[in-house]
Structure 1
C-alpha cells in the first residue's frame, strides 16, 4: 500500500507516512494505523480521531 497523508481537521497540521514526524517521535515510514490512539496533534493537541486522510 502506498504511503498516505493525514491532516488535522482542527489546525491543518499534516502527517505524511513516508516522512513520519521524527521531531515528534514518529519514525519515517510509520503507518497512521500504527500511531497510538493516545497520540495527539503536535501543533494543537487534537485527538487522532480528528485527523482525516487527504490527497496532496
Structure 2
C-alpha cells in the first residue's frame, strides 16, 4: 500500500502503521479513509495529501 504525505506539515500516513492518534488500525488504505478525514497534526483536508 502507498504512503501519503501532507503537503502542509509533512505528516506521513503509512497504512502499514495505521494512525494510532485517530484509532485507525494498520492495513487501512489511504483511499479507504473517509472524505472528511483530516491530518492528525495540522488538520488539513485529505485532498492536500500526495502519494509519496
Report the TM-score, using the length of structure 1 for normalisation. 0.85
> Which runs of 5 or more structure 2 residues have no equivalent in the other structure?
none
CA radius of gyration, larger in: 1
Q: Which has the higher strand share?
A: 1
Q: Deviating runs (4+, > 4 A) in structure 1?
A: none
| Residue-pair matches, total | 52
CA RMSD of aligned residues (A): 0.8
The equivalent residue for 2:28 is: 30
> Which runs of 5 or more structure 1 residues have no equivalent in the other structure?
none
